[in-house]
Amino acid sequence: MEEYFPKHTFQNTITLLNPIFGLQESQALSYIILEKIFNISKTSIIVNDPYYPDALQLKNFELIVQRLLKNEPIQHIFKEAEFYGNTFYVDKNVLIPRQETELLIQIIGNYKNWEKPKMADIGTGSGCIACSLALSIEGSQIVGYDISPEALQIAQHNASKLNANAVFSPLDILEDEIPHKELDLIVSNPPYVMDQEKQQMKKNVLDFEPALALFVPDENPLIFYKTIIEKAKKALKRGGVLFFEINEQFGKETLLLFQHHSYNEPKIYKDLHGKQRFASAIWE
């Protein structure tokens, strides 16, 4: 069996990926591939102890590199994504959880001293927001809604795997009312990318993630926000709070929507890059 060295394999992988992903992302991807395929840790790469891969491992390695070079997300290749300290199952039917959305969980957790809150997550996708809230806020009950049956199956799978107190139910928010009432919180990360923004997006998003969960018409980019703000009034208890992840271009417009619908204390939160990323308001 041929002898291989981690440093050499690591550098070769970076060289293969670099033209597509750039140095920093290629390094991150290479670490993941070596760990997943060959069970080689970062420490092993530094120490550079030889290893002896079998033929199947070498074949898998080549296939994964080729899939990455065709812009397939590594989260889809390995069917998992990290979010807020947990591993979620993901595939082509749900958006890959974004690192910036983790801040939303922190903001909600620190918003007040929650006491066994009843919560809803509209457009739950993989269930990453719903499950993370359920796991981080003691005594919380949360229902996640989505129009996609496949997404609901994935979300329920993740909740079961993580032992999160979250249930999931079908809902077309543009057509249906929110079934649950007297909620303490409603949260949503709805579609907010305008069609005209597609040309700025990477192929690994455009070609592999569900358009239904991403895009809104250029002529009505706030359609989901308008609808949820209106329908949440019947579902939130007095003093309940509505949280959104938003398109950074429409922070001011989102606040005006809250005000127009008589919500109190509308607020914008910036992400770690200083972009307007989240919004909240209270229904009194």
**Per-residue pLDDT, 107:** 97
30, 46, 70 - which closes a domain: 70
Kindly list the distances between the CA atom of residue 250 and the CA atoms of 221, 244, 268, in Å, as whole numbers in the listed order: 9, 12, 10
For range 113-135, the mean pLDDT = 97
Better pLDDT: 88 or 206: 88
**Per-residue pLDDT, 125:** 96
Better pLDDT: 203 or 77: 77
DSSP the chain: ---B-HHHHHHHHHHHHHHHHHHHHHHHHHHHHHHHHH---HHHHHHT--B---HHHHHHHHHHHHHHHTT--HHHHHT-EEETTEEE---TTSPPPPGGGHHHHHHHHHHS---S-EEEEES-TTSHHHHHHHHHSTT-EEEEEES-HHHHHHHHHHHHHHT-SEEEEE--TTTS-----SEEEEEE----EEGGGGGGS-HHHHTTS-GGGTEE-TT-TTHHHHHHHHHHHHHEEEEEEEEEE--GGGHHHHHHHHHHTT-EEEEEEE-TTS-EEEEEEEE-
Q: How many domains, the chain?
A: 2
46, 70, 94 - which closes a domain: 70
Give me the chain's average pLDDT, please: 93
Do residues 192 and 247 both lie within one domain?
Answer: yes
Instruction: State the residue range of the domain holding 42.
Output: 6-70
70, 89, 119 - which closes a domain: 70
Do residues 12 and 138 both lie within one domain?
Answer: no
Whether the pLDDT of residue 192 is over 90: the answer is: no
**Per-residue pLDDT, 218:** 76
Do residues 268 and 187 both lie within one domain?
Answer: yes
Whether the pLDDT of residue 88 is over 80: the answer is: yes
**pLDDT tens-digit map of 228-265:** 999 999 999 999 999 999 999 999 999 999 999 999 99
Do residues 40 and 132 both lie within one domain?
Answer: no
pLDDT band at 113 (very low <50, low <70, confident <90, very high): very high
For range 122-149, the mean pLDDT = 97
Whether the pLDDT of residue 21 is over 70: the answer is: yes
Does residue 1 fall inside a structural domain? no
For range 173-178, the mean pLDDT = 96
Does residue 276 fall inside a structural domain? yes
pLDDT band at 206 (very low <50, low <70, confident <90, very high): low
Whether the pLDDT of residue 72 is over 70: the answer is: yes
**Per-residue pLDDT, 281:** 98
Better pLDDT: 235 or 219: 235
Whether the pLDDT of residue 208 is over 90: the answer is: no
Whether the pLDDT of residue 171 is over 90: the answer is: yes
Better pLDDT: 203 or 84: 84
**Per-residue pLDDT, 178:** 97
Do residues 58 and 148 both lie within one domain?
Answer: no
Range in 194-203, 216-225, 257-266 the model is least confident about: 194-203
Q: Please tell me whether the overall predicted TM-score, pTM, comes out greater than 0.95 for this model.
A: no
pLDDT band at 188 (very low <50, low <70, confident <90, very high): very high
Do residues 133 and 253 both lie within one domain?
Answer: yes
Do residues 142 and 158 both lie within one domain?
Answer: yes
Do residues 260 and 198 both lie within one domain?
Answer: yes
Whether the pLDDT of residue 203 is over 90: the answer is: no
Do residues 100 and 46 both lie within one domain?
Answer: no
